[in-house]
């Protein structure tokens, strides 16, 4: 009966993209209209013997010239992988979960992946956030699409999360929650060049590299083969975001919310990858165009 109730809550969400989307087989690629690979979903099948490696999905991110700019498994802070989503202080009644580190048996399990065919396609992922025993706590619908912004590529990501049963509180500190990007491992080395950030003039600094009152932040990745700028832009309809940045290349923003079966958290984000070092004016222009069209 619980399984039937859970399925019935999924049906309205499943219907949203049913007409346009078709099942997608690996590799789960997102390709721009130019034919350039922009992002790729990594969706491991969960294996309890290899929990750390298979406990959650992520999206790899690529520069317009084909270089992968995001981290995969391993390295410092192994749980940081590409574009990823999680909260480390999730509560459902008296139960507590950490869907950031997933060290107590928590998992994010991809149930289905569907896609629109052709370049510039969209991708629709259905993901269950599960307790150690495999029971869903949160249902997530993750929709991505790509477009070109001049020389830059842009990934639009919509995350919709609703409770699988009782209300769920999504909470956590800014360093361990929300939607985040992690650059490749090389910038974490002690002697490596570090990632720098461009922020709007409205940004206000807090303790521990936390930032508020800004709609976007950009990370400049100092690759020896040529720098790349990753700009993250919040949609105007999102809740107020709290940002966190690190010089080894993990940055993003978070929100606190209580989700129910009827009232999900829905956020829209643009991840823009621009060749070279983007300055303030360029970032402002790209951010202004992020959700046009």
Beta bridge partners of residue 92, listed in sequence order: 95
Please state the pTM of the whole predicted model: 0.91
Q: How many domains does the chain have?
A: 1
* Domain coverage including residue 31: 2-289
Q: What is the pLDDT averaged over residues 29-46?
A: 92
Q: What is the CATH number of the domain that holds 72?
A: 2.70.98
Q: What is the pLDDT averaged over residues 193-206?
A: 98
For 132-149, the pLDDT digits (tens) are 999 999 999 999 999 999
Round to whole Å and give the CA distance between 190 and 151: 32
What integer pLDDT is reported at residue 119 of this predicted model? 54
For 87-114, the pLDDT digits (tens) are 999 999 999 999 999 999 999 999 999 9
What integer pLDDT is reported at residue 78 of this predicted model? 87
Asked whether 89 and 98 are in contact (CB, 8 A), the reply is yes
Round to whole Å and give the CA distance between 293 and 256: 29
Q: What is the DSSP string of 20-72?
A: T-EE-PSSEEEE-TTS-EEEEEE-PPP-GGGHHHHS--EEEEB-TTS-B-B--
């Amino acid at each position: 009966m619980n399984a039937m109730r859970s399925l019935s809550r999924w049906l309205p969400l499943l219907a949203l993209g049913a007409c346009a989307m078709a099942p997608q087989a690996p590799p789960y690629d997102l390709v721009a209209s130019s034919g350039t690979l922009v992002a790729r979903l990594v969706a491991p099948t969960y294996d309890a013997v290899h929990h750390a490696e298979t406990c959650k999905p992520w999206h790899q991110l690529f520069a317009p010239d084909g270089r992968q700019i995001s981290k995969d498994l391993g390295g410092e802070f192994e749980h940081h992988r590409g574009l990823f989503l999680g909260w480390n202080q999730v509560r459902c009644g008296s139960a507590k979960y950490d869907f950031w580190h997933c060290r107590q048996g928590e998992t994010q399990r991809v149930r289905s992946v569907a896609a629109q065919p052709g370049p510039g396609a969209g991708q629709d992922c259905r993901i269950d956030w599960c307790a150690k025993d495999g029971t869903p706590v949160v249902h997530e619908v993750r929709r991505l699409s790509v477009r070109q912004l001049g020389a830059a590529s842009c990934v639009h990501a919509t995350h919709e999360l609703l409770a699988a049963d009782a209300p769920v509180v999504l909470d956590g500190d800014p360093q361990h929650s929300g939607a985040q990007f992690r650059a490749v491992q090389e910038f974490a080395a002690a002697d490596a060049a570090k990632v720098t950030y461009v922020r709007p003039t409205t940004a206000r600094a807090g303790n521990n590299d936390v930032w508020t009152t800004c709609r976007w932040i950009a990370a400049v990745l100092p690759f020896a083969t040529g720098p790349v700028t990753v700009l993250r832009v919040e949609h105007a309809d999102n809740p107020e975001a709290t940002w966190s940045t690190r010089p080894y290349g993990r940055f993003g923003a978070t929100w606190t919310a209580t989700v129910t079966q009827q009232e999900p958290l829905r956020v829209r984000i643009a991840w823009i990858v621009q060749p070279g070092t983007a300055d303030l004016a360029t970032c402002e222009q790209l951010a202004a165009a992020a959700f046009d069209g």
